[in-house]
Amino acid sequence: MLNKEKVKLGIAPIAWTNDDLPDLGKENTFEQCVSEMALAGFTGSEVGNKYPRDIEVLKKALDLRGVEICNAWFSTFLISKPYEETEEGFEKHVAFLAAMGAKVVGVSEQSYSTQGFQDQPVFEGKHEMDDREWGLLCEGLNRLGKLSKEKYGVALTFHHHMGTVVQSAAEVERMMGNTDPEYVSLLFDSGHFAYCGENPVAMVEKYVGRIKHVHLKDIRPEIVKKVREENMSFLAGVRAGAFTIPGDGCVDFDPIFKVLEEASYEGYMVVEAEQDPAKANPLEYAIRARKFIAEKTGL
């Protein structure tokens, strides 16, 4: 069983309102979202576009419900823009997270990303970095990680993601091998590894010593197959139901939890399953996910 004193459970607001597809869940308010997170038994939340940015306002709303901010996505553009541009926005973002009490920041390199394009097939057109770009990425991540750790006490965790320059096992390996473990950790996402055809269990085994944040995400393999065969975009796949909560798809979570347990993982495990809330009621699916995790881990 995972250690209740060291492992916390969170859920992402993307199940209620999707920042990339604003029509999905547009009727769901911030207050409903965080209330239902708490009702389902989660104590951590990531940050969505509907969340207040005023620290006192946000803290009060979350404190009322026994919920805290555990992470928030940040897009870097280290290979396509001057480093200083990314650093400026990053520092403001990390300062906000530190003020909210978060211990990690989730970073994704969004230069040339296809994940936000409605008409770009997610299994085609991915940008492949050359040696110069790899150098810019890894050096930039080291600098950002040093800044966030030393100035704010926040650990940089890198989020591998479909449609981005770091998607596959080989790309994750190169990124991890050329960054400083002191400043760059991995945000392990079971769903994104499974989506691109990698083995999530092999990935968690390989990197467990550098994993500081976990996204528990499952995939529906028949939908991912359809996305590939019909040349659908990442976002079209989301609409179609490619992702779901842990235990509702094909990912085997037992060995993943076992590896994390044996490595004495500390930190958050966050259910992140973007679906159409009109098809997958967010509260219902949050309760199902929480029950699944309790049965498998004792948390």
Q: Mean pLDDT, to the nearest integer, of 253-280?
A: 97
Write the pLDDT tens digit of every residue in 160-203. 999 999 999 999 999 999 999 999 999 999 999 999 999 999 99
Res 65: pLDDT: 98
Average pLDDT score over the chain: 97
Q: Output phi, psi for 228, to 5 deg.
A: -65, -50
Judge if pTM exceeds 0.75. Answer: yes
Q: What is the pLDDT of residues 112-158, one digit of tens each?
A: 999 999 999 999 999 999 999 999 999 999 999 999 999 999 999 99
Residues 141, 142, 147: CA angle, nearest 5 degrees: 95
Q: Is the pLDDT of residue 105 over 90?
A: yes
Strand duo 243-244 + 218-219: pairing? antiparallel
CA 181 – CA 103 distance, rounded (Å) = 16
Topology of domain 7-297 in CATH is TIM Barrel (3.20.20)
Cα(102)–Cα(89) distance, rounded to whole angstroms?
A: 17
Asked if residue 1 has pLDDT above 90, the reply is no
**Nearest alpha-carbon partner for 75 in 96, 90, 91, 88:** 90
